[in-house]
Amino acid sequence: MAAEINPEERRQGNVRKPILLNKIEGCPDTINEAIIIPREDGVISVSDDKTLRVWLKRDSGQYWPSICHSMSSEASCVNYNPETRRLFVGQDNGTISEFEITEDYNRLIHRRDYIAHQSRVTSVKFCLSWESVLSCGKDKYFMWHCSETGRRFCGYQANAMCLCLEYDEQSKYVFIGDYSGQVAVLKLKDSSFDFIVTLKGHAGSIRCLSWDPDKQLLFSGSFDQSVIVWDIGGRKGTAFELQGHKDKVQGLAHSKSTRQLLSGSDDCVLGIWDMDIQRLETPDWIESDVCQKCDSPFFWNFRKMWSDRKVGIRQHHCRNCGKALCNNCCSKLSTIPNMGYEYEVRVCDSCFEAITPEEKAPHATFHDMKHSIVHMHLDETRKILLTTGKDRVMKLWDMSLVLH
C-alpha cells in the first residue's frame, strides 16, 4: 500500500529541495532494489521475501501491486528494458530469470533462466544493442551471457565478492566494484574480454557505481563514506574525491542533462553534486618522522625524541597540501569544496589563511530524506527520484527544483 502526499505541503517555503510525492509501503521483508518504469506511473521492486512486485499508481493516487510474482529464491537485483519490456531478476541462489511484462503490466511471461552464479547475484544489466546480459555475484565472478541464446560468453574472477556493475554501451567497457574496495575495468570483445586496469582508491567496499558516457567519468560510492570520480576518458589516472556523507554511500545516480551527481547514504542524506565545475585532485599524504613545520618528532621517532629530550606527538595531515604536521601546526578547520570536502576538515595554518571565502563556496547541497538509503533510481526525463530505504519503504521524489 502507499500514501499520497498532500499537495498543500508542497507549497510551503521557498527552499529548493526534493518534494516527496509518494511513499510505497507494504513489503514484509527487506527491499533490495527498486526501479521506476519509464513513461509510466509505476515501480518494480525485488525483495528478500522472494517476490517481484510491479506497483502501479491507481486513481486514488496510491500505488498498489498489479503483479506479485514469487521467485524460487530471494530476489536480490533487477533490471528492466522499456523498449522490449524485458525484465531480468537476479536471485540469491545465483540464477537470473528473464521475463516479459505484458503491455497492461498485469502479467509476467517467463522466457529463460540463466544459471549464472553459484551464490547471490548482486547486480544484473541488460544491453539491448549487444543482446547481452551482464551480471556479478558474491561468488567473485562477473558473467557475460548472450540474451538471444542464453549461452555464456565468458567470465572474470575478481579477488573479492563483486557487489556492483556498470558498463559503457559504445566502448564495451565494463566496471566491476568489489568488496575489497577495488574497481576492475574490462573491455569486452567478440566472446571474450581484455583486462584493462584495477582502480584503487577506496578504503572500504564499493557499493554502487554510475557512469557518465559523455565525459567518460566513472563514479564509485563506498562504505568508506566517500565518492570517487574516475576520469576514464582522460587516460591519465586522474581521480577526484567527494566527501560529504557521514555513513556508507549506498546509491548513485548521474543526471546527464544537468551534469549533477546524486549520492544516497546510510546517514539518511541525499547529496547533489555539481559536476560541471573544475575540481582538484586531493594531494597524497606525505610520510615523515617529524612535523614538517616545527620539526617536532612523532611518537614512533625514538631517536629524535631522545636527542631533543621531547615526548613524541601524534601525526596529522593537512587535507589541502598533504603535509605531515603536529596538532599545533595543523589545528584549523575549513571546507575545501574544489577538492570535494563539503564539510570542515583539518588544514594547516598557512593553507587556512590562503583559502579565500570564494573558494569555500559550496558545490553541493544535502537534503534529509528521512530514511537510510540502500538503493536509488533516477528517471531523468521526468526528474523523479526513487529511494529505497532500510525501513522497507520506497519514496518517490520530485527533483525538478534541485536538478537544474
pLDDT band per the 50, 70, 90 thresholds, residue 15: low
Nearest residue to 96 (alpha-carbon basis) of 70, 67, 123: 123
pLDDT above 80 (res 301):
no
In the prediction, which pLDDT does 314 show? Answer: 83
In the prediction, which pLDDT does 328 show? Answer: 87
**Hey, do 2-278+363-398 and 279-358 end up sharing a CATH topology, with the first three levels equal?**
no
CA angle 372, 396, 258 (to 5 degrees): 95
pLDDT band per the 50, 70, 90 thresholds, residue 74: very high
- Of 39 and 307, more confident: 39
Number of helical (H) and strand (E) elements in the chain, helices listed first: 2, 33
In the prediction, which pLDDT does 297 show? Answer: 81
Q: Domain spanning 2-278+363-398 has what CATH number?
A: 2.130.10.10
CATH architecture of 279-358: 2-Layer Sandwich (3.30)
pLDDT above 60 (res 213):
yes
Can you spell out the DSSP letters for 225-289?
Answer: SEEEEEETTTTS--EEEEE--SS-EEEEEEETTTTEEEEEETTSEEEEEE-SS---PPPPPPP-S
Q: Average the pLDDT over 371-389 and give the result.
A: 97
Dihedral sign from CA coordinates of 153, 222, 47, 99: negative
Looking at the DSSP bridge assignments, the partners of residue 390 are none
Amino acid symbol at 226 = S
**Percentage of residues in the chain with pLDDT exceeding 70?**
96
pLDDT above 90 (res 103):
yes
In the prediction, which pLDDT does 10 show? Answer: 36
Residue recorded with cell 538503493: 375
In the prediction, which pLDDT does 327 show? Answer: 87
pLDDT band per the 50, 70, 90 thresholds, residue 310: confident
pTM: 0.89
Q: Average the pLDDT over 166-187 and give the result.
A: 96
In the prediction, which pLDDT does 8 show? Answer: 38
Nearest residue to 124 (alpha-carbon basis) of 152, 91, 157: 91
**Percentage of residues in the chain with pLDDT exceeding 90?**
75
pLDDT band per the 50, 70, 90 thresholds, residue 63: very high
In the prediction, which pLDDT does 294 show? Answer: 86
CA angle 104, 379, 232 (to 5 degrees): 130
Domain boundaries, the chain: 2-278+363-398, 279-358
In the prediction, which pLDDT does 112 show? Answer: 95
Burial grade of 237 (CB within 10 A; 0-12, 13-18, 19 or more): exposed
pLDDT band per the 50, 70, 90 thresholds, residue 123: very high
The 10s digit of each residue's pLDDT in 280-294 is 888 888 888 888 888
pLDDT above 90 (res 300):
no
